[in-house]
Amino acid sequence: MSAPNTVRRAAHAAPQWGRLDSRLIPVNLAVLAAPVAMFLVTVLITRKTNLQVLITLASLFLTLLVISGISLMRLFTTRYRVTDDLVELQSGLLFRSRRSIPVDRIRSVDLTANPLHRIFGLTKLTIGTGEQGVSAGQRLALDGIGKADAAELRRQLIERRDARRGLATVAVDDGPISELDWSWLKYGPLSVWGVGGVFIAVASVYRTLRELKVDPLELGVVKDLQDRFGSVPLWYGILVVLAVVVVLGIIGSTATFIESWSGYQLAREEGGMFRVRRGLFVTRSVSIEKRRLRGVELVEPIPLRWAGAAKLNAVASGLGNREDNRRRSVLTPPVPRDEARRVAAAVLDEHPSLTVRDGLTRHPRAALRRRVNRAVIWSVLIGAVPFGLGLWLGRGLVTVGWITAAVLVPVLSVFAFNAYRTLGHGIRGGYLVASAGTFAHRTVALQRDGIIGWRITRTPFQRRAGLFTLGAATAAGEGVYKVRDVSTGQGIALAEQAVPQLLLPFLERAPRSARRG
């Protein structure tokens, strides 16, 4: 067991080294149950076994045994301590490593606990310094300390960081900004990943059984289904399969929402922090510094948009590389659009209308023509596939090809008009607001003070239409947020209004004689 006073002794001049909790031993050994469970399931399904299955499962068991041994070695050799200036971690037996992080460089202190951790009262504490690139994946982590010790250590780290920076700790009593409302569960099935997850699960099971030398098509359950439904028409069978996949996708999406967002709370905390807590089986706690917040992004994917819902992401620095940023920047689950705008306003201390698209400057009609042209081109290309195959295999596919193109042209054109109506930009107070998107509408509000440069891109087709894409570069979020398909005059005026004089040195001025002419 980790000494309960380890965290508290850090306040002394010579803090003692702390250990990971010994309850991590059964957690590390629990992975050995996987091959045993697979063996029992295989016997239950096939009602027999063979030498190939035994060899495969034995190999898996030995592999996991080695992994457990490495994890146990890490448990016995890991030491950590917190001083007034540093957080230190040392580990390893044959290859000793020692890492330290200055307290004033701490950007986030996140807590995560998987189901096994929670059963044994453990937590993983991860300390981030805002590094990006390869070093972002090397954050200092204490995987396996007591839940109470982790909470106390997190509090002390934030207090010491603020003390080193000379920041006064101000008590925050505003309460939570947003908490889970179970009426939001109706948005869970609207995730587009539900149906995809069904196909991924089926493919994974099929591949696993094939690796165990078990033919899925020879299983008794599959044989019974073939006997019962083998004589139905093909079109009917396809409809039934699609219905089953959709139902399973809805169930999976709903279950994912429940697991991911149970206990959700977004709250302000002392030290100028926002904290997002969520999770049913795997609990997560992510910290975002307010002073590193550069804006928010309102995301409305189909079909959430049709249901009047949206998700909200933070545009903040110090969240790690791009993958970490996408995972840790989430501020809300799918919620009603007005709720997402309310949360955005509360986080930024702005009016809820900041992320409303109404009132933004419209883009030129040339931007609409570009989108309609793309819709027609894609319709023709998609329809050309069966059409071309039909010239070789049969006239039936030729008919399918031109019908496909004829149907896709109006459908994709509707999406093109919708994408054009989504385009917009403007300056609202201290923020640059830009909106775009076809299948997922995105409205970003970016602090003008956080813009460190401009990136102008122009394809040959944009050049012919007199358009270009203006990218606002920032050391936060995705790095560049684009205002797509603006005219030259609009783009230059927007850049100058958002950050005066930043683009001016790079503009090419016309000769004086040319201006007179």
Q: What is the pLDDT of residues 421-453, one digit of tens each?
A: 999 999 999 999 999 999 999 999 999 999 999
Whole-number pLDDT of residue 514? 43
Q: What is the pLDDT of residues 312-340, one digit of tens each?
A: 999 998 887 788 888 899 999 999 999 99
Instruction: Kindly give, in sequence order, each residue whose CB lies less than 8 Å from that of residue 167, ignoring residues fewer than 6 positions away.
Output: 271, 272
Check whether 362 has a pLDDT greater than 90: yes
Whole-number pLDDT of residue 316? 93
Q: In the predicted model, what is the mean pLDDT of residues 98-120?
A: 87
Pairwise CA distance, residues 164 & 15, whole Å? 18
Check whether 219 has a pLDDT greater than 70: no
Whole-number pLDDT of residue 357? 92
The distance in angstroms from the start CA to the end CA of the chain is 85
Structure tokens at 31: 């992975």
Instruction: Name the residue with higher pLDDT: 198 or 483.
Output: 483
Check whether 515 has a pLDDT greater than 70: no
213 falls in which pLDDT band (50, 70, 90)? low
Check whether 510 has a pLDDT greater than 60: no
Structure tokens at 253: 């999406």
Q: What is the pLDDT of residues 9-66, one digit of tens each?
A: 444 445 788 888 888 888 777 777 766 676 666 666 666 666 666 676 677 777 777 7
Q: Do 483 and 470 meet the contact criterion of CB atoms below 8 Å apart?
A: yes
Q: In the predicted model, what is the mean pLDDT of residues 213-222?
A: 64
Predicted TM-score (pTM) of the model is: 0.80
Whole-number pLDDT of residue 340? 96
Whole-number pLDDT of residue 97? 81
Q: What is the pLDDT of residues 289-317, one digit of tens each?
A: 888 899 999 999 988 999 999 999 999 98
Whole-number pLDDT of residue 45? 63
Pairwise CA distance, residues 476 & 319, whole Å? 8
CA dihedral angle for residue 178, residue 183, residue 185, residue 189, rounded to 10 degrees = -130
Whole-number pLDDT of residue 83? 86
Q: Do 106 and 161 meet the contact criterion of CB atoms below 8 Å apart?
A: yes
Q: Which of 49-58, 253-262, 395-404, 478-487 has the lowest mean pLDDT?
A: 49-58
Pairwise CA distance, residues 455 & 128, whole Å? 29
Verify cis geometry, omega within 30 degrees of 0, for the bond prior to 352.
no
User: 57 in helix, strand or coil?
Assistant: helix
Per DSSP, the residues of 289-309 read: EGGGEEEEEEEEETTTTTTTE
Residue type, 248: L
Whole-number pLDDT of residue 8? 46
CA dist 287 to 176, 330, 496, Å?
A: 14, 11, 34
